[in-house]
Every structure is written in C-alpha cells, then in structure tokens.
Structure 1
Amino acid sequence: MSLTSHLRHGWSSYASLRRLLRTDITKHCVGSQCTMHSEPWHVENMPHLIRFRNGEKEKGTFSKAEMDERVSKLRNIMTNKNIEGVLFTSFHNIKYYSDFMYCEFGRPYGLVVTHDKVVSISANIDGGFPWRWTVNGDNLVYTDWQRDNFYRGVNQELRQLKGKIGCEFDHINLDNFKKLQNALPDSTFVDIGESAMYQRMIKSEEEISLLKESTRIGDIGAAAVVEAVAEGVGEHEIAMHSTNTMTREIAKSRPDIILQDIWTWFQSGINTDGAHNPVTSRKVQKGDVCSLSCFPMMSGYYTSLERTLFLDYASDEALRYWKANCEVHEAGMKLVRPGIKCKEIAHELNLIYEKHNLLHYRTFGYGHSFGVMCHYFGREAALEIREDIETVLEPNMLVSLEPMIVVPDGQPGAGGYRELNIMVVTEEGAENITHFPYGPEHMIIKK
C-alpha cells in the first residue's frame, strides 16, 4: 500500500509503517545533486547535510561583475581586519552578497564568505531555490532530521579556519551565538555587521538604476491609489488595487526577478497617526485626511512613495498643518548634498517646525537610506536624518526626505501629515527620483 493510501485508510500495523518508511521515504538523489543515506529508517541514520543543486542558476538581479565587486570589497574589509571568514545571518546581507532572499519561518539561514568561496546555508524546506538564487556561489542544505543541523553546516564550511570569523553582532541572538561558538571552538568572533552596512550605504550604478525603476513604479502605485479612492471605499480595497498594479508593472518591467513583498499602506482618519499603521477595512469619508505609502519592492530592494491626500476637501486648519509640512519637505530636499551631516539637516528642519509652533507634533527622524532594507529585512542605521547621526553624505548615497507631524484626535485638522521623496546624492548636489505630485494643489481628490 502506498503512503497516500495509508494516510487515507489508516496504518494496518506498526510493522507496515516501518516497512513503508524504509522503502518509500528513504530515497536517493542521483549523482552530485543530492546525497542521502539508504539505510533503514532511523533518525540517526538520516542525513544532516545534503547538496541539492536542482536546476540552473538564475540570471540574478544584477550582473556578475556587480556581484563579484560586492564580494571583492567585502574581502578587502576582511583583509584589513584580519578576518578569515564571514558568516552572515541577516536578510539584508545574505541578499546583498549572494542575491538569495530567505524565508525564515523559525529556521536559521546563513551565507559563508571566505577568501576563496561563497556558500549559502539553507533549510531543506526551500528545495533548490537557494541554490538557483545564490548566483555567485554554492549552496549547502541542512535537514530537519536532527536539531541544530544548521550549525553542522557552519562547522563544515568554516572549521578549517582557525582565526577571526566575522558575524553580525546586531543580528545574532545570545542563544545562537553560543551555538556558533560550540560549532567553531577554535575561532574568535568579531563583528562584521557595521562594516557591511557602510559598504551597502554607497550604491553602485546598477543598484541606483534598479532603485530608480522602483520609484517609477511607485509613482504608478500612487496613481492607482488616487484612482481607487472614493467615499465609502475601504482602505484595504484601495491598497490592494495599488499593490496589484505595481506587481503587474514590475513583472512587465523585470520578468527575470522575484516578485516578493510588494505592498501598499493606505491609512485614513485616525489611522494616519502612525507611519507604519497597517491597513484596515475602514471606509473613507469626504474630508478625511489620508496617507498613501507605496512599496514597489524589486527583488528585495526597497523604495517607497508617501503622500498626504484629502478626499473632496480639507479644512482650513488641516491646510495650515499640511502646507507647513510641505515647507519642511521642500527645504529638506534642497539641503541634501555631499558634505553635509545628517544631523545638520535635522537641525535646520527643526527650525522651520519651530517657526510654525509645530515641532512638538513631529514623530520621527526626517529620512533614511534605501536598498536591501525594509521593515522585514533590516536598516542602515548610520544613514538616518536625525539629530544623533554624524554621517556625512557622499555621492551615490540614497536618502529620503519624509517629515511627519501628527495632530492628536479631537483637535481641528487632527491626523498625520507626511510626504516622502527619495534623493540620490550626486557629486554636486542631489537628484530627486520621486516624481509624483504632492501638497494641497495636487492631492485634494475630488470625485
């Protein structure tokens, strides 16, 4: 009887179950594609690690030269810090250096980079996908048959190195760090996360090109929001229309890349008081303050477009808040240039809010970096426009200008006001790559 039949009709006996497990589950993968034990089924006899090079390598998001350059710059950092090998565990660094984006779901993932190899370590649940999308290296698969097989894979790939191993202190938790120490008892662990972050902050021409295409698609998503917004329509319906529109455009523009984590936030009324508030089924009413946020993620690379809008009309008090926020927004875009510190921009913009007696309504920093990052993946903390950030802007950095104020519920003009444009720092200034209109002149939607 087949496994399916047994599941449908029940096991006839324990002995039949044992026979079935021996004959149906303990399979072989042929050749170099996969290696598994053929002994009778026992957990201790099942494989810890396998190779599953299923299919051909994908084209990848970027050229081979781009990916090789990223790894080469990392190896220069390793040389300067006397690091023998690196184990990345975060979404953003694994994606940045290999083009593989994992789905965690309670399992650890890694990317090993030494001076002569790049190897991703992935869970068997993902099949051959990690092999295909580790475009510049190999892939090692660990199974679920025994606990902590991931660290057996780490040991296999790094045990020959006896010196410093770089890992991400800002990502790996204490329990997993102890497991890493047990897996590589002869190694010394140092942080590589901050150095990798600084490398990611300076974008290549290929990455800037991709992010510009993403902002173009964000403009299309915002137009879809304006198309869908109407009295009595739920936030979720408006957001879905925008997300579907962007997804189709990305598939058309770049059919060779992953369609993953493309989304839209559309908030109305009191829901606008937080920049990251999730979509609800609240129905939009005339006179509502609304916030649109479009995220046209292209193969894990993040841009966003955010706008304040009103349906049909805005009150006089709402217009006062909105115009003041737009003034801050425009001033911030003019300040972005090479040589200025992030904190200097923040201090200048605070003065404008103070002039309008609105600084106490400001809720967060004025902007941040873009690239392999988002609320799912990670963040480039050294490139945020805040009073505590000393980073000096350089050409090929990307930063947003996104001032926001929130007027508490119950007051005239209550709600959140936020605009976001993305700027590419150039040799002499900055290029605005977000083109969708903003402000009262354009975003009071009459229907």
Structure 2
Amino acid sequence: MTSRPEFYRFHNGEKAALQFADAEYADRVAGLRKILVDNGVDAAVFSSMHNISYYSGFTYCAFGRPYALVVTATECVTISAGIDAGQPWRRCYGDNITYTDWQRDNYWRAILSVTGTGKVIGYESDHLSLQQKSKLDSFLSPSATKDLYEPTMRQRMHKSAAELEMIRAGAAVADVGGYAIRDAVKEGAREIDVAMAGRDAMELEIAKRFPDAEYRDTWVWFQSGINTDGAHNPVTARRLQRGDILSLNTFPMISGYYTALERTMFVGEVDDASLQYWEANVGAHELGISLLQPGASCAEVTDQINAFFAERDMLQYRTFGYGHSFGVLSHYYGREAGLELREDIDTVLEPGMVISMEPMLTIADGQPGAGGYREHDILIITEDGNENITGYPYGPDFNVVG
C-alpha cells in the first residue's frame, strides 16, 4: 500500500502577478518580524483571512477548511488545503505547504513542520477558535503564546503608498457602480435589477483596471422603502414606487481590498419630512468630513457629530458608529476595530490612515420621513487634513432620480 503524506509542496505552474510587488510584501513581513521581536515571539501562526491576505497576498476560500500563514525569523509559509491544489502557491508571497485530508489535523502537522515544538507562538485572539487554540497547544507544545491581534491590526491601519493607490482605484470603481445604479433607477424596476446593473458595471471596470487579478465577491446592496432601515439589508425583488426612499450601496472587492459608496436617493420626488432628515444627515456628513483631521481622536469626532444631531433632536435615530477603517476587509472577514468612529475608541487619526464618514438616521415605518438615510465617503488622512477619494455626488440636488 502506498503511504499517503500528511502534507507536501505542490508548486504547480509559475508564480502569478500579485496585487502588489514583492517589495511591498517584504516590507509588511519585515514589520511583522519587528512585532515578533518586540513581543518575544518565535513564530506567528495566523488563521484569519485578513492577516493571511495582508502579509502573503493569498486570500483563501475556507469552505469549512482551516488555512494559515506561519512567519518566523526566516520563513513565510502559507498552509492550504489540497482542494486548492497549486493556486495558493501561485497567489502568495513566499512558500506554501499543502495539507492532506485523509487524516484529521494534518493542518496542524503542516504548521508544526515550520514552527517546531516548544516555541513562543503568536496567534490572533479575534479569530482563532477555542477548538483550534486547543489543537495549537497540543500539537505545537508552545513554551508560551502571545496574542498578536492588536499589534498586527495597528500595522494594517497605516497604509503604504501602494495600498493607498489600490484604495483610490477601489473608490473610483465604486463610483462607476453608483452611476450605473442611478441610470437604472425607475418606477417599477426591481431592487435586484438595479443592483445587478451596478455590480456588472463594477466587475467590468475592475477587470479593465486589474487584468491580472482574481475576481470575486464584488456586490451591491440596493434597498428601497422599508428595506432601507438597516445598512446591511439584503436585496429583494421589491419594485420601486414614486416617492420611495432608496439606499445605494456599491462594494467593489479588489484582491481582498474592500471599498464602498453609499448614498440616499429618492424616486422622482421627495416629501418635506424626508427632506428634513436627509438634509440633516448630509449636514452631519459634511461636518464629519471636516473633523477627520490628523490629531483628532475617533471619540472626539463621534462626540461632535452626536452634538450636531442632538441639537436637532435626531440623535435617537442614529443607528451605528460614524465610520471605519479600510484595507483588507470584507462583509465576512476582517476589521480594524481600533479605527472606528465610536464613543469608546480613543485612537488618534494619523497620516496614512483611511477611514469612512457615514452617518445614518433610521426613522421607523409609519412616521413622517420613514426610512434609512445614509451617506458614505472614504477619506485618506494626510499631514494637514484629509483627501476625499469618493467622487459620486451626495444630496437632493443629484439624487432625486427616475
């Protein structure tokens, strides 16, 4: 009987062009190795899609299987499942090991082959499950473990020049989707029809701008009427009616990098009560943009926008924080939780950070002006202010359509 390996290297074909140059990944890994030294860690074992993508360029598709990136002082190795064959190696910076599934926990045996036993192991508390942490302890027998969630998150918060270029491109693609949606809005159209128009336009634009990329997960949430009450409500087949409030949300995904455009719209006309809320939310949006300055803290910005709404007796309609970081994230992975515009976040804005301004008010069904009002721009913090990289217009002058 032929023995089957627990893991092996399947370096099939040639390395593909990644979303960034090798030098970019080398710089990121060098920054990580400094984190390891500073924390007395011998090997980082990352399991999250965002950190694996950030440090190696490989964005995995789990489908019930675990993936990893192991970084030591000399090694940078992705660990992938056999179902993916050679694609993880082609699409990663550094080495790759494939684990087999004929025996449970070959994943951990592959990781062990890189880390060895008795080492200080870094992991991510925001991602590693209790079950997998138990297996880490059992297979690697670490002398100690250190949580690297926060220091790696803080590294990801500060974008390189190459990342900023990628994020600017993503914002431009989101605008393309926005204009396609605006053109598709008309009485009687279904939410799904309008959403598909925006998605298709963005995917074509991404393929034009990034011919060597992998394409996945670009999407649109286009909501109407009562469906606008939540920011993440799925698309339906509801047909648009004259006077409907609409929420335009375009989300291009480019090699693991998410960007967004969100706008309030109305079909044909907007009533006075709705206009009052809409204009107030636009005012909060403009105020928020002006407050995103280097040296300001997330909590300070939040408090000032809260005061703006409180003066208008509208603060009770606020539904979530006013913005968040951008980079390697998506609707199902990643989050730089230390850079969100909330009362409990004291992070100070610094040049090179990227953050959204996205105030939202929700008025309950049956009340005058019912619906969800939301605007969303992406801002790069600069040395002396910010750069707004969202181009699609906001407000009633442009967004009463159909």
TM range (shorter): over 0.9
Question: Aligned pair count?
Answer: 402
Runs of at least 5 residues in structure 2 that lack an aligned partner in the other structure: none
Runs ≥4 in structure 1, deviation > 2 angstroms? none
**Does residue 79 in structure 1 map to residue 37 in structure 2?**
yes
- Please say if 1:200 is aligned against 2:200: no
Q: Distance in 2 between matches of 1:248 and 1:418?
A: 26
Alignment TM-score, normalising by the size of structure 2 = 0.99
How far the C-alpha of 1:163 sits from its partner, in A, is 2.9
Q: Which residue does the alignment assign to 2:53?
A: 95
Distance 2:267 2:154 in 1: 42
3-state DSSP of counterpart to 2:362: strand
8 Å Cα contact 1:52/1:141 also seen in 2: yes
1:303 has 2:259 as partner = yes
Secondary structure of 1:156's match?
helix
Q: Find out whether 1:180 has 2:136 as its counterpart.
A: yes
Q: What amino acid does structure 2 have at the position aligned with 1:117?
A: E
Measure the CA separation in 1 of the matches of 2:143 and 2:400.
61
The aligned residue for residue 122 of structure 1 is 80
Gaps of 5+ in 1: 1-38
Inter-partner Cα distance in structure 2 for 1:138 and 1:350: 49
Q: Aligned match of 1:139 in 68, 83, 96?
A: 96
Separation (CA, whole Å) in 2 of partners of 1:186 and 1:171: 19
The one of 99, 109, 115 equivalent to 1:152 is: 109
- Pair 1:325 & 2:272 matched: no
After TM superposition, give the deviation of residue 47 of structure 1 in Å. Answer: 2.1
Q: Is 2:316 the partner of 1:360?
A: yes
Matching of residue 390 in structure 1 with residue 346 in structure 2: yes
Q: Which moved more, 1:251-260 or 1:310-319?
A: 251-260
Output the amino acid matched with 2:374.
Answer: R
CA distance in 1: counterparts of 2:334 and 2:163, whole angstroms: 17
- What is the CA–CA distance in structure 1 between the aligned matches of 2:189 and 2:102, rounded to whole Å? 49
Instruction: Answer yes or no: is the 8 Å Cα contact 2:120–2:142 preserved in 1.
Output: no
Instruction: Find the partner of 1:291 among 226, 247, 258.
Output: 247
Q: TM-score, normalised by structure 1?
A: 0.89
Checking the alignment, whether the CA contact within 8 Å between 1:261 and 1:300 is kept in structure 2 is no
Q: Given the alignment, which residue of 202, 207, 218 partners 2:174?
A: 218
Match of 2:194 among 219, 234, 238: 238
Q: 1: CA distance between counterparts of 2:265 and 2:143?
A: 55
Instruction: Tell which structure's C-alpha radius of gyration is larger.
Output: 1
Report the Cα distance in structure 2 between the residues aligned to 1:401 and 1:209, rounded to whole angstroms.
19
1:108 aligns with 2:66: yes
Tell me how large the CA RMSD over aligned residues is: 0.9
Separation in structure 1 between the aligned mates of residue 376 and residue 142 of structure 2, nearest angstrom:
49
The whole-number CA distance in structure 2 between the counterparts of 1:137 and 1:260 is 23
Q: Is the 8 A contact 2:121 2:142 kept in 1?
A: no
Q: In 2, Cα distance between the equivalents of 1:81 and 1:163? A: 13
Counterpart of 1:257 in structure 2 is 213
1:64 paired with 2:22, answer yes
State how far apart, in whole Å, the 2-side matches of 1:331 and 1:287 are.
Answer: 27
* Matched residue SS, 2:42: strand
AA of the residue aligned to 2:59? M
Q: Aligned partners of 1:153 and 1:97: how far apart in 2?
A: 19
Q: Give the fraction of aligned pairs with identical amino acids, expressed as a percent.
A: 50
Whole-angstrom CA distance in 1 between matches of 2:33 and 2:5: 32
